[in-house]
Structure 1
Amino acid sequence: MSIMLFLRFSAIGLLCGVALVPFFWIQRGDEFEHLRLAALMGLDVAQIVTVSIALAVGAWKARPWSKRPRPSPPGFALGGITFAFGVLVMTQALATTRWLGGRPAGVGDPDGESFMAMLAALSGGVTLLISAVILIKRSAALRRSPKVDVPMPAGR
């Protein structure tokens, strides 16, 4: 599997983790910070599942003996959406880490939940890195592509 296909299916897996967050929901308090922590913890677990599934599907779709054409490389839309998602996850994870650093009330194991928040920050950083590589490679491919001259109609 080429690096761009690996990045495409990794990005899709990271983005699809949001769909499984409600299934991994563990909330202890009623405040907004507890809600954010529960969402990040659910996202961490969900992304482990969805990235694994997405990479397995990607390996199956890009197998060399297939008669189907290989999937096209990822474009600007996937790179931009993944970049925005990475920024969102990273900012929320860092805010949760700062909140957990103050030893808030209602948190069962602050060290374990701080680890989960840092894992979410790492996930956001990896998502940003993947999106940056997708955007850079796509814009480099666009610059290398041959320019097409369109003839002007006669009389103009």
Structure 2
Amino acid sequence: MNAPIFHLAIPVGDIPTAKAFYNEGLGCAVGRESDRAAIFNFYGHQLVAHVTHEPSAPQKGVYPRHFGMVLPDESAWEAIWQRATEKQLGCHQVPKHRFPGEVTEHRTFFLADPFHNLLEFKVYRHDEAIFGCRELVAIGDR
């Protein structure tokens, strides 16, 4: 491993359903797995699905809890949106164009997995908006 890899653990109700969404749906390769957990290669990062029998409820909106990817370019973003549409994955929020004309301009959409985990996929028009632009305060929806 040359660069750090982000690790995220999420709750799921069962491994076969998680595999259907993340592996078959999004195309994330499956690593180690058991009947209680599975590791997915989430675009180069480690996503671990842990089975829980605690009930999960959908959030009313996308805040405060969600995770996802910032894609390197619009073609990568479009490819994931197309795959999600073709595989009929749970669309939580259709593609939006946020902050048009501003340095923080980006396109985004949200998916919901079968366990109410929300995933955001976005692409910025300007790379400096990812970690920079500290003087700007607009984050998320207005």
TM-score by length of 2: 0.25
Which structure has the highest helix share of the two?
Answer: 1
TM-score by length of 1: 0.24
Which structure has the highest strand share of the two?
Answer: 2
Relative contact order higher in (CA < 8 Å, ≥ 6 apart)? 1
